Amino acid sequence: MSLTIGTAAAQRGEITYGEYFLVQHPVGGADVLPVIIAQGQEDGPVFWITAGIHGIEHAGIQVIHKLITPELVKQLRGTIIAIPALNPAGLRTLNRQAYYHAGDPNRLFPDGRVPDTTDPDKAPPSALEEAYGRVYEEIKRTASFYFDLHCMSQDALSFIFRDRILYRKGDKAARQRAEEVSLKMDEMAQAYGHTVTADFAVGKYIDQKLHRATTAAVSMLAGIPALTAELSSPYTPAPEVVHASVTGLRNVMRWGGMLSGEMEPITGIKVVDPGFPTHRRSVARVTQSCIVHHLKEPGDLVKVGDPLVEMRDAWGRSLGVLNSEYDGFVISRPTGILYYPGDAAMLLAIRDEEPRVGEYPALYFD
């Protein structure tokens, strides 16, 4: 299969490298994305893998480096297209966002709406948003399935965020496609073998613009199965998490018919299954300024009433214990132990009673 992304052109049985133009700088030069294309001798699916859209999340870069090897290509059917640094400005400066866009770069992929060009006081899409629109079109044009690699926070599980798939009310074909994509995403997640949870409930999902994240846009708008992998802590990657992600991605390729052989076991990380579907929620919001003592670890199962954190003052005197309002499990504990009133001291995956496939909100396209 002939594939070209930027200056990288696929060649059978080889790994090729190139660059994809992202953003022109006002003082000369430009930001470009590094592109890796690994193509086997036989035709097969096209697996897109990206990382580094948040500049403090580095484990995915190492995962891509360790996954794509000459040994892998010898066994490969189809093609891997990888971009290990979707946000070079953020990576250079160790910032979550790029300095030429004031906002989360993972909320800039298309949302399906027709752009409003009638308001002269509304700024047009930024250079970065336009660039990510072009990247989306490349994925839509070529991908069979897609993974975007992130990191959650210090002391977090390695897990998958599984997007909800939305469709227009009354569009039977769109609903059928959404259900088919959703089923494939579940199969992909099972093959990857890490803990799985959905993102927020639908209302907050839209409010937080998570439908404009990389994998949400690709799955909902392009109809391509896509998942977000959260690889534990940002900054310096944990070797066991990198290894587990590489293993999981090879298993996804086996699921997709790109590699032969038995599924490899996932080792070195906790994998949690509470026995019911879940979505994330920030919990244990402290009632006063305090020092937090966490009473649960990432991966621990919790039930309603279980103690989650103890609040103490600076001298160590107890200010009370916050208990869980939900059944579920601990995803992560935010960085640090100093909290102000209203701060959430823990992230849980809680029981999810909303459908994974559903209609867009009534006024979404108005």
Q: Quick one: pLDDT at residue 233?
A: 84
Domain with CATH 2.40.50.100 in the chain: 278-351
**Is 90 exceeded by the pLDDT of residue 115?**
no
Work out the average pLDDT over 111-138. 90
Polymer length in residues for the chain: 366
At 33-56, the pLDDT tens digits run 999 999 999 999 999 999 999 999
At 153-179, the pLDDT tens digits run 878 999 999 999 999 889 999 999 999
- Please report the beta strands in the chain, taking only residues with DSSP state E, as ranges in sequence order: 4-5, 8-9, 14-24, 30-39, 42-51, 77-83, 145-150, 158-162, 165-167, 195-198, 226-231, 278-285, 290-294, 301-302, 307-312, 318-323, 328-332, 338-339, 344-351, 357-359
Q: Which CATH number fits domain 278-351: 1.10.472.10, 3.40.50.1390, 3.20.20.70, 2.40.50.100?
A: 2.40.50.100
**Is 70 exceeded by the pLDDT of residue 209?**
yes
Considering only residues 181 and 199, tell me which one the structure prediction assigns the higher pLDDT: 181
**Is 70 exceeded by the pLDDT of residue 1?**
no
Phi-psi region at 7: left, alpha or beta (left = phi > 0; alpha = psi -120 to 50): alpha
Phi, psi angle pair for 201, to nearest 5°: -60, 160
Q: Quick one: pLDDT at residue 337?
A: 95
Q: How many CB atoms lie within 10 A of CB 93?
A: 14
Q: How many CB atoms lie within 10 A of CB 344?
A: 15
Map residue 22 onto helix, strand or coil.
Answer: strand
Q: Quick one: pLDDT at residue 120?
A: 85
162 token code pair:
């599984």
The residues pairing with 336 across neighbouring beta strands, listed in sequence order, are none
What is the dihedral angle through the alpha carbons of 204, 307, 305, 351, rounded to the nearest 10 degrees? 30
Work out the average pLDDT over 297-321. 98
Domain with CATH 3.40.630.10 in the chain: 4-117+126-271
Q: How many CB atoms lie within 10 A of CB 39?
A: 26
User: Which CATH superfamily groups domain 4-117+126-271?
Assistant: Zn peptidases (3.40.630.10)
With 0.75 as the threshold, say if the pTM is over it: yes
366 token code pair:
């108005």
